[in-house]
Amino acid sequence: MAIRRLPPLRAIEAFVRIVRLGSARAAADELGLSPSALSRRVAALEDFIGKRLFTRQHQAMRLTDDGQAFYDAVSPRFDELAAAVEGQVEDSKVLRLHLGLLPLFGSQRLFPRLPELRKAHPRLHIDFDTSPHLDHRVGDTLDAAIILSKQPEPMFHAVRLDHNRVYAFTSAALVEEIGSHPDEAELSKQTFLIHTELPDSFIAWKKAIGLPGLEPAAVDHYDSGQLILEAAANGLGIAIMHDDHFHRSHDKRLAKLFDVEVESPYSYWFICRPHALEVRAVRIFHDWISKAGL
């Protein structure tokens, strides 16, 4: 049987990474290539298939219709090939998982339980990535991630890890100063501390206390839950966060503001590409965290 001729896999890898990362520069950085070397790989792929995959304008590369069709056809099979090769690699010492993780979830919920996983699977080791926008890199530079989301994109296999309530809390002294009942005049003088990726938590909380139009003196945005906790404990503002983070902090400097129950729009989710479950390291972690009840 004649063997079909294939383009260089490195050229296909370069093409797939440009599409997934959204830029040629990011793809070149990931692959450790110069921009010109990356461009040559893409040009070689275009020559092989006889189609223009990208339009190039002012350093930007945009998919053509042929490029989109090629990506839709090749991307899943490229992932399957990568998983198949990985499954054949013999490594009796280490199973490696590249996991995206939010730092506060890691410190409060995951790390205290990881010794259980290590004991059950001593070959499994995890590289952690706490950069923002984790979901954008799952399936490329990350095998899987734990994210906060209303609902992950349908392209992912997703496991919901919890249900949460929204709390408003701050320093005990500021709670006493504000009082036990919502007052719009008093709250309008305050600074609120909001996570940049969870804006709807504040909207839900304002609605629950009967002040949907509340305009505080300021809203300070943070990309770190741990920093929000510390800022609130020092009286720098009123944190709008999940009840779980409040309770797990065990910080006696903090106190809840008002006795109100608010369902959070967001949950923690474990996500990965469906085909990634064929990779042993991903499957082990997925099965464990699905049952761990963190």
Residues 110-148 have pLDDT tens digits of 999 999 999 999 999 999 999 888 998 998 889 999 999
Say which CATH class 166-256 falls into: alpha beta
Question: Residue 246: what pLDDT?
Answer: 94
CA-only gyration radius of the chain, Å: 24
Question: Residue 221: what pLDDT?
Answer: 96
Q: Tokens 């490029």 — which residue?
A: 67
| Helix or strand run (H / E) with residue 276 | none
3-state secondary structure (DSSP) of residue 222: strand
Question: Residue 80: what pLDDT?
Answer: 79
95 in the Ramachandran plot: left (φ > 0), alpha (ψ -120 to 50) or beta? Answer: beta
Q: How many CB atoms lie under 10 A from the CB of residue 143?
A: 23
Cβ(264)–Cβ(166) below 8 Å: yes
95-163+267-292 shares the fold of 9-88: no
Alpha helices in the chain (DSSP H): 9-21, 24-31, 35-49, 65-88, 103-105, 114-120, 172-178, 184-187, 199-208, 225-233, 243-249, 280-292
Considering the entire predicted model, what is its pTM? 0.68
Cβ(289)–Cβ(159) below 8 Å: yes
Question: Residue 141: what pLDDT?
Answer: 87
> What are the sequence ranges of the domains in the chain?
9-88, 95-163+267-292, 166-256
Instruction: Tell me which amino acid residue 160 is.
Output: R
Question: Residue 83: what pLDDT?
Answer: 66
Cβ(144)–Cβ(138) below 8 Å: yes
Taking domain 95-163+267-292, whether its CATH number is 3.40.190.10 is answered by yes
Question: Residue 58: what pLDDT?
Answer: 65
The CATH number given to 9-88 is 1.10.10.10
Euclidean distance between CA atoms 289 and 272, whole angstroms:
13
Question: Residue 38: what pLDDT?
Answer: 86
Enumerate residue ranges in the chain where pLDDT < 70: 1-4, 58-59, 83, 85-93
End-to-end Cα, the chain, rounded Å: 53
